[in-house]
Chains A and B, each alone.
Chain A
């Protein structure tokens, strides 16, 4: 029996989907050791306590809440010091973070404070006796490394979407606490937070990603992709590097080696040939669909399902069909 720690990310007063994933992973790890306690840590502004209660549904035994007026958005130094302190206090065997934008910043800090290494951007893990073993795509997805994480605690960050947020309801208790360091003493100060449309689902949070490439021919044609995403209702729109370099989409939408690494349940690539640099960012998706005019496009080699043809005819039809399926429930 070993205790596990999960960092449950919140943003804008709400928990992110990746929060449920880290808690579910910690539950899975605790169960593998014969059932220890799962401690989930949530930091946020006033009101975060209510939002945090859902974590019991994913297997948390104790939700540790730190509500503070200065913690409404990410504060790496405060987050890291608090997480490290709680991991030590609760004697956790492993600590799970998300490899989201915030988590990629946070997890190395926590590992350094604890004086241990980091297994970053992990797509699967196992607790085998006393050993924590993880898998992680390396060389931009061209190889998979199996890593042994020695020392305690094992600090692991999980690629968003790679570990399913399995529901496992527990009676969970809440521990309210204070940050391990005074937020006022942090050296790095956030002076401005900009949102790119709060209503939009981010790539890390979306179970479905519809991504567009040069085949869409013009910036305004991405409306087709927005419509398709809207039909799903739980989809985000991604893009290739060629598209973001041309300014058709925001650079933050870029999926690939130098952009975002995603693992949605369903990825639909539209007008994307499948350059290595793009495949590196999406090849761990559960199901891949490709729509492309060129039947020899490399993306068809990694796609589970493909349609060859004119995307300008296929995508609107697909949008209608998805709408119909969704309305039927």
Chain B
């Protein structure tokens, strides 16, 4: 099977953030960047599918600045066969602008499956997958928690806030991958060596026009410093009182 995985380069969200002087972006100084969490799950899913279903080819595609190459190499060292780097000084916030660039790259690729993470950990929009599917005219299943393929048909299980759903879909298709489906492997030394010889194509991203733009980025207002209402079970009446009288939520 030919499987493509679209991945995004994002800052490690465990690190401390500062807002850049433009007031619209994160100051990259000292930040570590990584493959967005769910996208890395998607890479693992693709590798496992091709391992299980016989000969295939896995491609990773990313949009971003030069530094993205390092993360595409990481995916290659995990076992991905080739990478495509769609260059852009920055990735637009607008998911449709991103989807247009991805669809342009994917449309003649003959992929059986196109995988995305459920959402990127930076913008958290979770829209690029479904939008790309629409542009490609392919069926789309989002937030896939379990996946099986047999004879050109896929079966996926999804979690829906208090319910689960099993869906079937024809290939080719676009899927977005939820957490928990497959823990990403750590690249082996052999994989890292092999990655250096694998193809990494570079071409400009054909981004669409952005209709959703960042006007301002700010750190969240610190919540009002909390107050300890007391210690132990004897503090319960005071908690009830403040919830009723001050917070008015009870």
Contact of B140 among A188, A203, A251, A302 (CB under 8 A): A188
A181 at the interface (CB under 8 A from B): no
Residue of A nearest to B240 (CB): A321
Contact of B250 among A113, A119, A266, A283 (CB under 8 A): A266
Would you call A290 and B212 a contact (CB within 8 A)?
no
A257 at the interface (CB under 8 A from B): yes
Docked complex Cα distance between A276 and B121 (Å): 13
A149 at the interface (CB under 8 A from B): yes
Docked complex Cα distance between A265 and B123 (Å): 24
Docked complex Cα distance between A290 and B129 (Å): 37
Q: Number of residue pairs across A and B with beta carbons under 8 Å?
A: 273
Would you call B142 and A104 a contact (CB within 8 A)?
yes
Binds B, one of A20-28, A88-96, A215-223, A305-313: A305-313
B89 at the interface (CB under 8 A from A): no
Contact of A308 among B158, B223, B224, B231 (CB under 8 A): B231
Would you call A313 and B226 a contact (CB within 8 A)?
no
A148 at the interface (CB under 8 A from B): yes
Please tell me the number of chain B residues within 8 Å of chain A, measured between CB atoms: 83
Docked complex Cα distance between A105 and B156 (Å): 15
Min CB distance B39 to A, Å, is 12
Would you call A322 and B247 a contact (CB within 8 A)?
no
Contact A143-B17, Cβ < 8 Å, known A101-B159, A188-B168, A191-B155: yes
Contact of A148 among B14, B215, B230, B235 (CB under 8 A): B215
Would you call A150 and B249 a contact (CB within 8 A)?
no
Binds A, one of B43-51, B64-72, B92-100: B92-100
Min CB distance B233 to A, Å, is 4
Docked complex Cα distance between A254 and B237 (Å): 29
Can you list, as one digit per residue, whether each of B179-210 has a CB less than 8 Å from chain A (1) or not (0)? Answer: 11000000000000000000000000000001
Would you call A148 and B220 a contact (CB within 8 A)?
no
Docked complex Cα distance between A260 and B126 (Å): 13
Residue of B nearest to A116 (CB): B211
Docked complex Cα distance between A143 and B179 (Å): 23
Contact of A196 among B122, B164, B247 (CB under 8 A): B164
Most buried by A among B126, B166, B180, B218: B126
Docked complex Cα distance between A156 and B228 (Å): 38
A146 at the interface (CB under 8 A from B): yes
Contacts of B121 in A (CB 8 A): 139-140, 257
Contact A309-B231, Cβ < 8 Å, known A112-B131, A148-B215, A318-B239: yes
Would you call B19 and A143 a contact (CB within 8 A)?
yes
Contact A325-B226, Cβ < 8 Å, known A117-B94, A120-B125, A192-B165: no
Would you call B124 and A102 a contact (CB within 8 A)?
no
Would you call B212 and A149 a contact (CB within 8 A)?
yes
Contact of B165 among A143, A190, A259, A295 (CB under 8 A): A190
B232 at the interface (CB under 8 A from A): yes
Contact A287-B163, Cβ < 8 Å, known A309-B231, A314-B236: no
Docked complex Cα distance between A236 and B37 (Å): 27
Docked complex Cα distance between A180 and B109 (Å): 31
Contacts of A11 in B (CB 8 A): 163
B110 at the interface (CB under 8 A from A): no
A86 at the interface (CB under 8 A from B): no
Min CB distance B141 to A, Å, is 6
Would you call B239 and A188 a contact (CB within 8 A)?
no
Contacts of B229 in A (CB 8 A): 305-307
Residue of A nearest to B121 (CB): A140
Can you list, as one digit per residue, whether each of A130-154 has a CB less than 8 Å from chain B (1) or not (0)? Answer: 0001001111111111111111000
A204 at the interface (CB under 8 A from B): yes
Would you call B235 and A309 a contact (CB within 8 A)?
yes
Min CB distance B24 to A, Å, is 8
Docked complex Cα distance between A194 and B126 (Å): 24
Contacts of B218 in A (CB 8 A): 143-144, 146
Contacts of A208 in B (CB 8 A): 249
Contact A105-B130, Cβ < 8 Å, known A120-B125, A188-B141: yes
Min CB distance B234 to A, Å, is 8
Contacts of B149 in A (CB 8 A): none
Can you list, as one digit per residue, whether each of A247-286 has a CB less than 8 Å from chain B (1) or not (0)? Answer: 0000110000111110001100000000010001001001
Contacts of A192 in B (CB 8 A): 165-166
Given contacts A108-B95, A146-B216, A306-B228, 17 further A-B contacts (CB under 8 A): A109-B134, A144-B220, A145-B214, A145-B216, A146-B214, A146-B215, A187-B170, A188-B139, A190-B165, A251-B145, A287-B247, A300-B226, A304-B226, A304-B247, A307-B232, A317-B233, A318-B236
- 10 residue pairs of the A-B complex, CB under 8 angstroms, read A74-B165, A102-B160, A107-B127, A142-B13, A147-B93, A147-B214, A252-B162, A257-B121, A317-B236, A318-B239
